[in-house]
Structure 1
Amino acid sequence: MGAVQQTSRQHLVSQVILKRFTVPGPRGSGCRLLPFDLQYPERRHKLQTTRACGWVEDFVAFESAAAEELWGSIERKVPEALAAVHAGVPFADPGHASVLRDLIVLHFVRSLHYREVHVGAFAKVRADLRSSLVQIYGKQLHCEALRETGLHLAGRRALGAHAELLIDRSETVRDHESGKLFRTSIESTFRKVQTRASSWQVEIHTPASGKFLIGDNPAVTLNQNGGVTEWGMPFGDATSIVLPIGPQHLVALGPRNKVGTLSAADVEVLNTVQIYAARRYVYMQPRSGLEAFVTQAARERPPAQVQG
């Protein structure tokens, strides 16, 4: 049996979406979009291909081919659904709404914010386990350390250090360090969120004026509270999840299938959310007129939040 192939350059923002933000490049050089580095808003930003944007090295570091096949099973259906959106008939085929819903879920789970949540949760469980071993099984730890090392460990600090050694040897920690635990977790979480989202419908929004941009954490949870748009809450607390799919279209989860138009003010709010939710980059259609807006928002944005 041959070795499992590893895909190193893994796109977190689907190229099929990024292509909607492109324009033909100079002298037949192919289509290009504008990546904007939020860490360096004053830098001159150069046009790039979709292949050069929206990816992370070894996001799934263990047997990524399995995860890539799962993502591909959705992304292969997306071009037809996007074509229907751009043709103004997004619900002509009932299957398009399901594809667009899965596309939102895919970008919510296959994301930097999900990896941060996973890493943080693992670190907390590990710290809690070490504390529990010392507090509840201190006597057994002392005996195990004496058996292994011949030393009588005294004090919580010494027992904690030995507990850490035992934890390091566990299969769970080995799976975490290899990336296996993350891969199985992200696949399982995708299935769970996909099931939970199945009762939601799909909204298609176009701007009355202006254009949408897209960030490197593009599927963002939203909640309306007294006319104020809050974002980044856990999935179960959100009233919608939004995903830009082109300069002229944004899809969202909502109570019913619908097509609507957003005011210029709403478009500005949603673009600001994309900028604030991004880890480093947002992507725009060249000559969109958004560069000055993004530059100012990049200067003002708060420290990155971790979505639930």
Structure 2
Amino acid sequence: MATAQQTSRQHLISQVLLKQFTMPGPKGSGWQLRPFDLRNPGRLHKLKSTRACGWTENFVAFDSASAEELWCAVERRTPAALSAVHAGTPFTDPLHMAALRDLVVLHYVRSHHYRNVHTGALERSRAGLVGKLIRNYPEQLRREALRATGLHLSGSRSLSAFAERLIERSSVIRDHETGKLFRTSIEDTFYKVRAMASTWRLEVLVSETSQFLIGDNPAVTICTKGSATTYGMALGDAQTLVLPIGPRHLLALGPMNVMSTVPQALVDRLNAVQIHAADRYVYMHPKSGLEAFAGIAARQASQERP
């Protein structure tokens, strides 16, 4: 039986979502938006198609067809739900509400941020396991090293190196190196976060005058206290999880279903969060006029990073 083909170029931001930020380009060029490179804010940022934006190479490197099937199941329901938002009726159909919540969850899990958290947790676990083996099982390690290599290990450095070697040969590390562990983790996490999000309601924020932009880590956890806004905390510690879905609309998980117009000051705060949380790029409507704002926020973000 034929196996599904691995997809190498994988979109982290759904093209159906990116299309909301587009306009028709020059004749024959199709729908385009403006990518803004936060690492090079002074460069000329040319318009591009949605196909050329918001993707990374081999994000899911093992059996990506399984993950793609899951993502597509969400994305197929998105156009009708977005149309309901634009019509001002996002809450009339429970299926549309579920589709919008799933869209937020999808972009929270399928992200650079989640991959960094996953990789960091694995590396910390591996380092901790080496220390635990040396502390709790030094004699067993020495006997295994003698059996496997014929060497009598005495110093802590040699014992640590052998413990690391054992861990590297474990099935968990092999699955990590092939990408199988990440694929399994990201799918499991999607279902877990989806279950958590199902208990929340949807807030649809509509920009009063200015426009939203979208970053390449677009679904961001947020806590607000007074004029201070922090982001990137665990979902269970957040006040809300937000996702821009177009130049005029942003979704937020909250305690009640509400569609409300928000002033430019709040739009600016949310756009700054998108820029600070981004891995490298933000995307905007070609006529948004947000390039200068993005450049200032990008320079501020680079100064704040350690």
Normalising by structure 2, we get a TM-score of 0.97
Structure 1 segment 76-87 matched on structure 2, within 5 A: 76-87=76-87
User: 1:189, 1:304 → 2: CA distance?
Assistant: 30
Q: Shift in Å at residue 88 of structure 1? A: 1.3
Q: Shift in Å at residue 132 of structure 1? A: 0.9
User: Residues 117-168 of structure 1: CA distance to partner in whole angstroms, max 9, x if unpaired?
Assistant: 0000000111111111111110011011111121111111111111111111
Check conservation: 1:276, 1:304, Cα contact below 8 A: no
Q: Shift in Å at residue 208 of structure 1? A: 1.1
User: 2:128, 2:299 → 1: CA distance?
Assistant: 38
SS at match of 1:203: strand
User: 1:214, 1:116 → 2: CA distance?
Assistant: 19
Structure 1 residue 161 corresponds to structure 2 residue 161: yes
Q: Shift in Å at residue 29 of structure 1? A: 1.7
Structure 1 segment 29-108 matched on structure 2, within 5 A: 29-108=29-108
Query: Runs of 5+ in structure 2 lacking a partner?
Result: none
Number of aligned residue pairs: 305
SS at match of 1:211: coil
Q: Shift in Å at residue 304 of structure 1? A: 8.4
User: 1:140, 1:303 → 2: CA distance?
Assistant: 49
Question: In the alignment, what sits opposite 2:225?
Answer: 225
Q: Shift in Å at residue 228 of structure 1? A: 2.0
Q: Shift in Å at residue 30 of structure 1? A: 0.5
Q: Shift in Å at residue 59 of structure 1? A: 0.1
In terms of mean alpha carbon deviation, does 208-217 or 293-302 score higher? 293-302
User: 1:214, 1:135 → 2: CA distance?
Assistant: 48
Q: Shift in Å at residue 303 of structure 1? A: 6.7
In terms of mean alpha carbon deviation, does 266-275 or 89-98 score higher? 89-98
Question: In the alignment, what sits opposite 2:194?
Answer: 194
Q: Shift in Å at residue 231 of structure 1? A: 1.3
Check conservation: 1:277, 1:304, Cα contact below 8 A: no
Question: In the alignment, what sits opposite 1:19?
Answer: 19
Query: Runs of 5+ in structure 1 lacking a partner?
Result: none
User: 1:160, 1:239 → 2: CA distance?
Assistant: 42
SS at match of 2:210: coil
Check conservation: 1:142, 1:153, Cα contact below 8 A: yes
Aligned-CA RMSD value: 1.2
Question: In the alignment, what sits opposite 1:301?
Answer: 301
In terms of mean alpha carbon deviation, does 245-254 or 148-157 score higher? 148-157
User: 2:99, 2:13 → 1: CA distance?
Assistant: 16
Q: Shift in Å at residue 87 of structure 1? A: 1.2
In terms of mean alpha carbon deviation, does 260-269 or 3-12 score higher? 3-12
Check conservation: 1:21, 1:246, Cα contact below 8 A: yes
User: 2:303, 2:199 → 1: CA distance?
Assistant: 33
Check conservation: 1:12, 1:216, Cα contact below 8 A: yes
SS at match of 1:243: strand
> Which amino acid in structure 1 is aligned with residue 262 of structure 2?
L
Question: In the alignment, what sits opposite 1:283?
Answer: 283
User: Residues 79-133 of structure 1: CA distance to partner in whole angstroms, max 9, x if unpaired?
Assistant: 0000111111111212111111111011001100000000000001111111111
Question: In the alignment, what sits opposite 2:268?
Answer: 268
User: 1:229, 1:146 → 2: CA distance?
Assistant: 56
Q: Shift in Å at residue 302 of structure 1? A: 4.2
Structure 1 segment 243-262 matched on structure 2, within 5 A: 243-262=243-262
Structure 1 segment 121-200 matched on structure 2, within 5 A: 121-200=121-200
SS at match of 1:43: coil
User: 2:79, 2:304 → 1: CA distance?
Assistant: 31
SS at match of 2:245: strand
Check conservation: 1:108, 1:220, Cα contact below 8 A: yes
Q: Shift in Å at residue 226 of structure 1? A: 2.7
SS at match of 1:32: strand
Identity %: 60
